[in-house]
Amino acid sequence: MLVKGVSSEGARLSSMRSATGVTEWVPTIDVSALSDSSGPLRAQCIQQMAQACAESGFFYAVNHGVAPATIDAAMEAAGAFFSLDKEDKLTIDNAKSAAFRGYIAQGLENTNGVVDEREQIEFGVESEAAPPGVMPYYLRLQGPNQWPSDATCPDFRPAVETFAVEMEEEARRLTGALAEVLGENSDVWDRFFDDPFVQMKICRYPGLESADAGVSGVGAHSDSGFLSMLVQDDAGGLQAQLPNGDWVDVPPIKHAIVVNLGEVLQVMSGGELRATVHRVQRTQRNRISVPYFWNPRLETTLADLGVSTGDASTSSGTHGGRNEVFLEYGANAFKSLARSHPRVMDRHHPDLCVVDGRVQQKN
């Protein structure tokens, strides 16, 4: 596939500066034009997306379809939950969920083998729990969410569910535009998102007690899925890595959605679109963010999406060079969670293990 009209990476890199709050490398795109099905403003918006996705793999979406009040309510709900006592938070401990859903205390998740310095709640699409030991193993990612009680967080669930509904609508619109970026009709992938696999987190990074800088909240990684969307408070800390290895800040813009691509889209585009490595550095302030990961149904294969690859394709330099994109999307989703949450694996999936980035049955 060819992304046309995109300037060379080298020329773009030459005008960039290192991580000093610069946003030139992460452009701001008014996505309201995507509502115009065939007008020139839509074509201009899609060209801007093509440029951003080929060069940085990141952009800010503004004038999108998620209401500012919806974002504010989700952030307020997050703050209310994280202010609870630890015992109340642990009533929804993710170790109780075979689908990796629920609360994860600080220090219990890892990224690229390094402990994450954040606490969070994991959510997905509400469904019945998969039968224990079902195969293919990635079907075990289906299940119910865990919610704090109305007594402790009375407004939490409606705020989060409203946010998820509006983010899904925006994700579908962006998916159609990304199809056009790759020269396809906007509805070409619709059938693979009729039952999407969605992951959403609500995260809190505790502020540093000293003026030390460069302390990792989440280590360098690329996202394993299709499309990632994020809202964040004004604390800062998110950074993206340029192809030359430098890091640039992705500073907060109020009510904007930070959009970045996952490894699936990078492989689908033959590497022309970038699943950019990124990280979160802790600051002296608490940071709250709500990332939303939009993915096709678990059974979708890369061949379904038009990729003529073998059974896997290395997509990034993370995880010691062993970060692969597998034929079935569900295998990509499960590998990421399995690597990050060994407690859940030990408790709910004792028949499986992770070896060199691949999930395998024991014996």
Using the predicted structure, report yes or no on whether residue 4 has a pLDDT greater than 50.
no
Which of 309, 49, 344 lies closest to 178 in space, CA to CA?
49
The answer to whether 107 and 206 have CB atoms below 8 angstroms apart is: no
Helix, strand, coil proportions of the chain in percent (round to 5)?
30, 25, 45
Q: Beta strands of the chain (E only): which ranges?
A: 28-30, 58-62, 102-104, 110-111, 114-115, 119-124, 197-205, 215-221, 227-232, 238-241, 247-249, 257-261, 278-282, 287-295, 312-314, 324-326, 352-355, 358-361
The b/e string for 170-191 (b: 16+ C-beta within 10 A; e otherwise) is bbebbbbbbbbbbeeebebbee
The sheet with strand 102-104 has its strands ordered as 28-30, 58-62, 257-261, 227-232, 287-295, 197-205, 119-124, 102-104
Rounded Cα–Cα distance for residues 138 and 127 (Å): 14
- For residues 69 and 284, the model is more confident at 69
DSSP 126: B
Highest mean pLDDT among 19-23, 174-178, 312-316: 174-178
- pLDDT (0 to 100) of residue 112: 62
Using the predicted structure, report yes or no on whether residue 357 has a pLDDT greater than 70.
yes
Q: Is 100 left (phi over 0), alpha (psi -120 to 50) or beta?
A: left
Give me the long-range contacts of 110-113 (CB less than 8 A, separation at least 24). 110/339, 110/340, 111/218, 111/219, 111/220, 111/221, 111/340, 112/219, 112/220, 112/221, 112/318, 112/319, 113/219, 113/319
Q: Mean pLDDT throughout 272-296? A: 94
Which of 108, 127, 129, 126 lies closest to 117 in space, CA to CA?
108
- pLDDT (0 to 100) of residue 21: 40
- pLDDT (0 to 100) of residue 131: 95
Q: Mean pLDDT throughout 8-37? A: 63
Q: Which fold has domain 23-357?
A: Jelly Rolls (2.60.120)
Q: Mean pLDDT throughout 97-125? A: 85
Q: Which of 2-16, 131-145, 234-248 has the lowest mean pLDDT?
A: 2-16
Rounded Cα–Cα distance for residues 110 and 220 (Å): 11
- pLDDT (0 to 100) of residue 88: 97
Parse the chain into domains and list their residue ranges. Answer: 23-357
- pLDDT (0 to 100) of residue 28: 96
Segment holding 81, helix H or strand E: helix 68-82
Residues β-bridged to residue 61: 29, 257
Which of 94, 72, 141, 115 lies closest to 288 in space, CA to CA?
72
Rounded Cα–Cα distance for residues 230 and 18 (Å): 22
Rounded Cα–Cα distance for residues 199 and 183 (Å): 27
Task: Quickly state the pLDDT bin for 318 (edges 50, 70, 90).
Answer: very low
- For residues 170 and 6, the model is more confident at 170
Q: Which of 16-20, 190-194, 339-343 has the lowest mean pLDDT?
A: 16-20
Q: Mean pLDDT throughout 239-250? A: 91
- pLDDT (0 to 100) of residue 213: 58
The answer to whether 250 and 258 have CB atoms below 8 angstroms apart is: yes
Mean predicted lDDT score pLDDT of the chain: 87
Q: List, in order, residues 6 or more apart from 346 with CB less than 8 Å away.
A: none
- pLDDT (0 to 100) of residue 129: 95
pLDDT digits (tens, 9 = 90+) for 125-157: 999 999 999 999 999 999 999 999 999 999 999
- CB atoms under 10 Å from CB of 16, counted, come to 16
Strand 278-282 and strand 215-221: the pairing is antiparallel
- pLDDT (0 to 100) of residue 278: 94
- pLDDT (0 to 100) of residue 125: 96
The answer to whether 13 and 244 have CB atoms below 8 angstroms apart is: yes
- pLDDT (0 to 100) of residue 358: 87
- pLDDT (0 to 100) of residue 36: 81
- Residue 256's SS3 state is coil
Largest CA distance in the chain: 58
Q: Beta strands of 16-108 (E only): which ranges?
A: 28-30, 58-62, 102-104
Which amino acid is located at 234 in the chain?
A: D
